[in-house]
Amino acid sequence: MDGKLKHSHAVVTNILLGALLVNAVWWTAARIFQTPALVDPLTVYAHLGDAWQQSMSTHLAASLWRVTVSVVLAGMIGLAVALWMVRARYAGKLLNAFVYFSYPVPKLALLPIVMLLAGLGDLTKIIMIVLIIVFQIIVNLRDSLLQIPAESYVMLTSLGANRRQLFRHVTLPAVLPGLLSALRVAIGTAISVLFVTETYGTDRGMGYYIVDAWMRINYVDMYAGIVVLSMAGFFLFLLIDLLEKALCRWREA
């Protein structure tokens, strides 16, 4: 119990200290440069309520829906492909070669092609996010699957376990920490890709909100959008941490 309290205290301390340092650097830079293009954080925070009531809540809801659907789809696809790569003898080799060759390809370069094929709606944005984060999830899960000792399966099989039970009691617990770690990293990437894709062919989303404020030279709105998008990414990151604690309790033991 003391260990959990110490860990929670350390997490809260890191969050508060990190937020304090970021805002201190931001405030100092605003005071040094004294330019309308660098608004101080106090002015931005005071404006958040008005920005939220005007239209920001709608834009944030659209962005969160897109990134949530994308991360869930990428996780499901990544798990299915990783399992296939490890378990299928010949198809696994083909998939491994495909992933090895495709992983370094800059997926954002495919944005014009995806827009031509899927249009300018939400589907394009979801496809782009999935394309960019699914490969790192596949690689992470494949490595986790390869590290499972074969004896673990043999032991349960000798006790009469079927494939479903093997997956539930051996495979899933073994890959779940790797999946959550991959998703934790993928969220930051997904938010970045989301911002880029929301600057094209849409009038909803935080990416559109920020760029629109920038084009209107409304820097307070622009920084307010950046703060809200950053906080959304942080809370999604924190949510993965909470899920890991809830679903992987044996690691703490």
pLDDT given at position 240? 85
Does the structure show a pLDDT above 70 at 6? no
- Residues 47-79 pLDDT 10s: 999 988 888 999 999 999 999 999 999 989 998
Percent of residues, the chain, with pLDDT higher than 90 = 31
More confident residue, 188 or 39: 39
pLDDT in tens, 202-234: 888 999 999 999 999 999 999 999 999 999 988
Question: Rounded distance, CA 59 to CA 225, Å?
Answer: 9
Taking the whole predicted model, whether its pTM rises above 0.85 is answered as: no
pLDDT at 97: 87
Confidence class for position 250, pLDDT limits 50, 70, 90? low
pLDDT greater than 80 at residue 152 = no
- Amino acid identity, position 138: I
Which of 192 and 159 is assigned the larger pLDDT? Answer: 192
* Cα distance between residue 51 and residue 188, in whole Å: 24
Q: Which pLDDT belongs to residue 41?
A: 93
pLDDT at 22: 93
Mean pLDDT highest for which of 21-25, 110-114, 150-154?
21-25
68-92 average pLDDT score: 87
